[in-house]
Amino acid sequence: MGTLVGHVAPGFGFFLIGLWHLLNHIRLHAAQPGSYYSLPWFAASRLRYGELLTIMAGCCASVAMELFVGPSRHQPLDPDWTIPSNHLHNFEHSLISISFFTYAAFAIVLDKVMAGPKAARTRDGLTQLIGAVAFGQQFLLFHLHSTDHMGIEGQYHLLLQAVIVVSVATTLLGIALPRSFLVSFVRSASIIFQGVWLVIMGFMLWTPGLIPKGCFLNLEEGHQVVRCHSEEALHRAKSLVNIGFSWFLILITVFSVGLYLALVKIYGETAEYQSLTKAAAELDEEEDGGESDDVESQKKIKFGETKSFIHVGNLKTFAPIDIER
- What does the DSSP assignment read for 196-251? HHHHHHHHHHH-GGGSPTTEEEEEETTEEEEEESSHHHHHHHHHHHHHHHHHHHHH
Long-range contacts at 126-129 (CB < 8 A, ≥ 24 apart): 127/40, 127/41, 127/103, 128/40, 128/171, 128/172, 128/174, 128/175, 129/172, 129/175
Q: Where does the pLDDT of residue 284 fall: very low under 50, low under 70, confident under 90, or very high at 90 and above?
A: low
Give yes or no for a contact between 225 and 22, defined as CB atoms under 8 angstroms apart. Answer: no
Asked if residue 297 and residue 182 are part of one domain, the reply reads no
301 is in which domain, residue-wise? 268-324
Asked if residue 10 and residue 135 are part of one domain, the reply reads yes
Amino acid at 167: S
Query: What pTM, to 2 d.p., does this model score?
Result: 0.81
Q: E strands within the chain?
A: 215-220, 223-228
Asked if residue 64 and residue 51 are part of one domain, the reply reads yes
- Domain end (from 264, 294, 311): 264
Q: What are phi and psi of 197, to 5 degrees?
A: -70, -35
Asked if residue 106 and residue 252 are part of one domain, the reply reads yes
Asked if residue 317 and residue 240 are part of one domain, the reply reads no
List pLDDT tens digits, range 16-51.
999 999 999 999 999 888 899 999 999 988 899 999
List pLDDT tens digits, range 138-155.
999 998 876 666 789 999
Distance between CA 57 and CA 258 in Å, rounded? 31
List pLDDT tens digits, range 156-203.
999 999 999 999 999 999 999 999 999 999 999 999 999 999 999 999
For the ranges 66-70, 107-111, 116-120, the maximum mean pLDDT occurs at 107-111
List pLDDT tens digits, range 218-249.
887 777 889 999 999 999 999 999 999 999 99
